[in-house]
Structure formats: structure tokens, C-alpha cells
Amino acid sequence: MSRTGSSHDRPRLILASESPRRRDLLKQIGIVPDQIVSPQVDETQRPEEKPAALAARLAEAKARAIAAPGPRCLVLGADTVVACGRRVLPKSADADEARRALALLSGRRHRVLGGVCVIDGDARARHRLVTTIVSFKRLEAREIEQYIASDEWRGKAGGYAVQGRAAVFISKVIGSYSNIVGLPLFETAALLHGLGYSADGRG
């Protein structure tokens, strides 16, 4: 994927993610990666690994899974973890898993942890970890079943998509909204800018 109107002075950017949400979020702030590659990373949580540590580790693992092809190249990796207490809620693989996640989140606060890692051409890593607090209203069984029927939950951490129908479940958000969608934009843009990359091409 090429970028139009880019500057020769700006580093090349590789997005190590197959998520269309992350791609769209970057586009929202004027960043179009030069290349998008899907990293092959085992996302299994390690024994006793806390949610924040998991998000940070996977963000770096995804970035490192894609080798930078040159010194003027940056690889961006990211991971989103939904946690209720110390419990990590995985990407829902089936309706029962999504139903259990929504029942657990009902009437409670939970955390969305966004890990971001940028690796430069010298294999040096820079990190950001962003926490957003999300409060759910108490969900009725009917509401959960209607949401399950929408299929919007498929592949979503915690079994919901804040940018979709689940928006009506959320009574309060403290922190970065874009982090819940899939990428904390303020922190990501600041990280890239510090490494000489900006959307306007001036570095």
C-alpha cells in the first residue's frame, strides 16, 4: 500500500496489524502506512501475567515479528486488552463466549489497555501503554441477546465494539476513546513524531 504525496525525508511506516480498525484510525489523523503486514504472534496470556504486561508484550512482539527493511523504516505494533479486574477477556470466538463477556461487564467498570510499540531500523523499541476506564450500564438479558444476534461481537476483545451498537451500553468513558476502538491516537502520533514521522511529512 503506497502513500500519496509523501515526503522523501519521512521514514517508511509499516503497520504490523491486520486490524481494519487500526488502519482506519491512522487514516483519521492523516497517516497511511506504506505497508501493512499481518504478524504471526501467539497471543496466549502467560501464567500470572497481568493484563497491562500482556498488552505491552504483544504490541512489541507484533512489531518485532516484522523486520524493518532499512534504517529509514519504522514498524508499528499494537495490542488491545480488555480486563475486568485481573481477568483478561479474549476476542470472542463464538456467541457463548461473547454472551459470558457481556454478562460479566454488565453494570461494572472495566479497563481497556492499549499497548503501542514502534521499532526503528536499529531494532530499538519505544513503548506506550494507555488505560481507558469504561463503565457499562446493567444489561438486560434481552439486550445481550439482541447484541449477540447482530454478530458485531465477532473477533472483538470483551465481546463488544464501542463504535457500533454497543455504544448504548456504555455510560461513561474515562480516558482515550480511540484506545477502545483499537489504537490510542494521541500517544501513537506523539511516538511517531518523536521518531521523525508526522502526517504532514515534515518530520
Mind telling me the catalytic residues? 79
Find the DSSP H helices in the chain: 20-28, 51-64, 95-105, 141-150, 177-181, 185-194
CA dihedral 63, 64, 69, 70 (to 10 degrees): 90
Give the chain's radius of gyration (CA, Å). Answer: 17
What crossing angle do the helices spanning 95-105 and 141-150 adopt, rounded to 10°? 140
CB atoms under 10 Å from CB of 151, counted, come to: 9
Cβ atoms 182, 78 nearer than 8 A = yes
Q: Are 78 and 112 in contact (CB under 8 A)?
A: no
